[in-house]
Structure 1
Amino acid sequence: MRLQIEKVVYGGAGLAHQAEAGKAVFVPFTLPGEIVEAELSVEKDAYGGAELVRVIEASSDRVAPGCVHFGACGGCQLQHAEYSAQMRMKAGILRESLERVGLVELPEVQSHGDAFWGYRNRIRLRIAEMDGALRLGYNRRGSNEFLPIQECPIAAPLLWRAASALLKLAETDKGAERWLRGAVEIEFFSNGDETKLQMTLFVRGALSADLKGLCERLRVVVPELVGAGVSILAKESALRSRRTERPAAGASWGAEGLLYRAAGADYWVSRGGFFQVNRFLIDTMVRLVTEGREGRLAWDLYAGVGLFSKALAKAFERVVGVEGSETAAADLAGTLKGPRTQAICASTVDFLRHTVIQRERPEVVVMDPPRAGLGADVCELLVRLKAAELVYVSCDPVTLARDLKVLVDGGYALVELHLVDMFPQTFHQETVVVLRRGA
């Protein structure tokens, strides 16, 4: 079918409408204004999905992808778009997501970007054997099928260099080969300047092999390696969702984490612990969330290792960081050691239920929830709390819009809206929203 692309939607596909039926059709790897030929691949009552056959009239924003695996790999969706066009499309998606729930009085979207290649400080790769050789890769687009890769340009160069070195080592080293054949995935995490590296091997069931020997031999060619560990996954399914997986700790070598320098401070991040993934924009994120805010008390909810808590502690008499993950909460406690700070291991909803009935009220509440957002219970408790200012960091515009509608209906006004492009070349986006009570 011949289609004209109207816009790009959340998820990265271009939206068009069939001329005859007026049905919406979503076509990946297309850009607004383009005329394309596409082949229908999915047909539902209300919409269809199609695969791009060829571009008949290309957008001036179309560029050659920067990775040989683009299109086959499930990791990136927007490499065919010039970077400023990616930013414009994401800003439009953010605004439309908010308007769709009835938030029409919106501040201007302020966009923040930086280097758009080599930005990831963490990658997690699958391990498989193909044609008699061990390979590392990701999932093929839209499936769980293994895709072997030979490069990943959005990853910090150290990460792919380490992955390649490990594969090379396994060609001649029986110990390395044993580990890779026994593992299903491997993760590499580096600090911002690529001087320190952590490695995690994910295995199904216990694996008896010499981790120390593997790491010492790998460190000869990757001297940045400071620590490694084994995570033992459940045996029942190799395709179990990472979000529901609760691995057990196995053998370890070297440091249990690494010191990450960001926004003028040092943060201890345990192996496997969460930290913002874009090494070039972390400082910008901290500045947007904390700069110019001061007072008696601030809360940092979903605090992680304390990225925002530590910056807030410079300007507030007291800062409370709240984190539900035991691993991250332990790192948070190490970050918030001063007499004016407190680290609490608890879910945000439990913390708010307990504190909302207390007299103590923070001037500022910072929130950086996972993709699922705050949810109705947390939003309603925040409305009851009546803090003067809320700063909401979101990685999903749909759940963000849902939550903001509750907060605005509860008496808050949106006063700042920042798009921070933490995930260039992909459809993912990060947003910082500032809300003030009665503004």
Structure 2
Amino acid sequence: MLRPRDSKSSASAPNILAKELVISQNDPLDAGTDNTVNTVPGSLTDNSTAVDIKFSVPFVHRLRTTRHVAGADFPTLLGVLTPGSVGPAKVLLVAERPVADAAGHVAELARRLGECPDIELVRDVLLVSGGEDVKNDLSCVEEILNQINSYDLDRRSYVIAIGGGAMLDAVGYAAAIAHRGVRLVRLPTTTLAQGDSGVGVKNAINYFGKKNWVGTFSVPWAVINDASLLESLSDRDFCSGFSESVKVTLLKSRDEFDWLCDNADRIRNREMSLATRAIATSCELHLRHITEGGDPFEMLEARPLDFGHWSAHKLEPITDFQVRHGEAVGIGVAIDCFYSHLKLGFPLSDVQRVCDCLSRLGLPLWHQALSPLDRLLAGLEEFRQHLGGRLTITMLRGVGEPVDVHEIDTPTMAKAIEMLHHVGQPLRG
């Protein structure tokens, strides 16, 4: 796990003027009907003044879906790469090593980019490690920063990152802090990243032994979900991403949750027409929450898209990341469904459907690290600190009926985990 050292890096998202779908960052402080923020009564003395102005920053979020971005759909990638104003646009192409080794898509993409007159591919493909290890030390981040510096990339240059969610996190963090934001184009290569984190507006690395402790909010320049990039996934990695599909449909849509339950076996068996539909639905529901939910940069108390994540984020490090993020999320979702049943009346029949769906998607429902409970419950305070303010955990009254709670009853949580243990299947390699 990464250990801290002195650093004075800072980060800020680029100011991207939106012409299409826009989201705004609004100050969550109590504000009047104009652009002024209400000053705390009694805070000003005879010798002090205050100027508090509320403002919004528009962004555009570009999402493209393709079947073969290195082949017939290559123009879709070119379409998001704006030529430079003083010559060709500089591009640093970064790929996760296992992805590049498993198929020829990355090499073909590099070849085609190198042939474009409006693109300057500054070097051969930079290969980096993948998986959670890439977030546990600074080597990947430092390498990306060195490359951006060595090849004189600026804020109108591009870093194209091809890899899974952890790799996209690390590369995205480096791109976000270089020049306070070099344009990042994500090409997610896992079901998890294509359905969730790839369209997120944040990045992070692990620090102090804690998940995502260092990071920034930064809207990617573009995200391209390409079906061909999923071909080399192992069955385990292919299945693990659909826990986020279960999570977001539970939060947002009874119809989509029902569809997912009905098709879980066929998705697990890699019927791609169904798998890509599930990914597209998950991606759209996540994206709409980010862009239309009113809090894209998590300035408020609640973080609904992290349903099931307080325990997932703790389960990963206490298992030395032997549990995949998607697997941990599946377990976390099941835990919080049982807790929601016990405390909020979430129907037991729906809890059973959730567990059945996760299991038929090939996801584990139990890990021995869930006991003893005190290690897991430490994740509640870490989760609270990560968001700030009072503890706020999203639970469910029903499918499509999320509710925020501000305390967790420990005996009830212990009972919820015990109930899961009775139905859960352990993790298999």
Larger radius of gyration: 1
Structure with more strand by fraction: 1
TM-score, normalised relative to structure 1: 0.25
Structure with more helix by fraction: 2
Identify which of structures 1 and 2 has the higher relative contact order when contacts are C-alpha pairs closer than 8 Å and 6+ apart: 2
TM-score, normalised relative to structure 2: 0.26
